[in-house]
Amino acid sequence: MPFKKLSLEVVNRVGYILLDAGSRFNKLSITTIRELKRAFLQVEADQAVHVIVLSGYPGESFAVGADIGQMVHFSPSDAFHFSELGQSLFEQIESCPKPVIGALNGIAEGHGYSENAFTVAYLKRALDHLHKSHAGLEAAAPKRLLPDAVVAEVRAELLAIREGILRLMDEFRGRR
């Protein structure tokens, strides 16, 4: 089923989930949250995806928050279910087995952090997940649980992903 409020593409082992409400600002409506949940399930299950990037491109914001225009019509029960839906999305992202990078753009500052510092923090988290994956591979390699060719290929992929993350971190720190 196609998406209405976002797009999803896979390029070079990266799953890009791009919020695109078709307006100036991306708002988290019921439809958007449901589509995000579905998109995350899709990229989590895709063996070709090793890293997920969530961005608000091409809008002027990553996401400005909940769609207040929609919420004004909620009953108390509707509001409760909406908050549960949103919380379930955040829990799904936090428990995602693949690194998730928030590539923030536009109006995206929050909690006293600039966009770049916030993004670098998430890139560090992705790098930590990558190092854990590499450690697991190195622990399994001597046991010969995987063919040598597979171990070599995965090592190369992890190194390429690591270099990409480090490049992004440098860009967001203003070093490139």
pLDDT digits (tens, 9 = 90+) for 73-129: 888 888 889 999 999 998 999 889 998 888 766 655 444 444 555 566 667 777 777
| Cβ-defined contacts of 67-72 (< 8 Å, 24+) | 67/27, 67/28, 67/29, 67/30, 67/32, 68/27, 69/27, 70/27, 70/29, 70/30
Which positions ≥6 away from 113 have C-beta within 8 Å? 121
The confidence score (pLDDT) of residue 126 equals 76
- What ranges do the domains of the chain cover? 1-108, 114-176
Q: Is 105 helix (H, G, I), strand (E, B) or coil?
A: coil
CATH of 1-108 among 3.40.50.2300, 3.10.20.740, 3.40.50.2000, 3.90.226.10:
3.90.226.10
pTM tops 0.75, yes or no:
no
Please choose, from the candidates 168, 39, 20, the residue with its C-alpha nearest in 3D space to the C-alpha of residue 98: 39
Average of per-residue pLDDT values in the chain: 82
Burial pattern 25-54, b for ≥16 Cβ within 10 A else e, equals: bbbbbbebbebbeebbeebbeeeebbbbbb
Percent of the chain with pLDDT over 90: 24
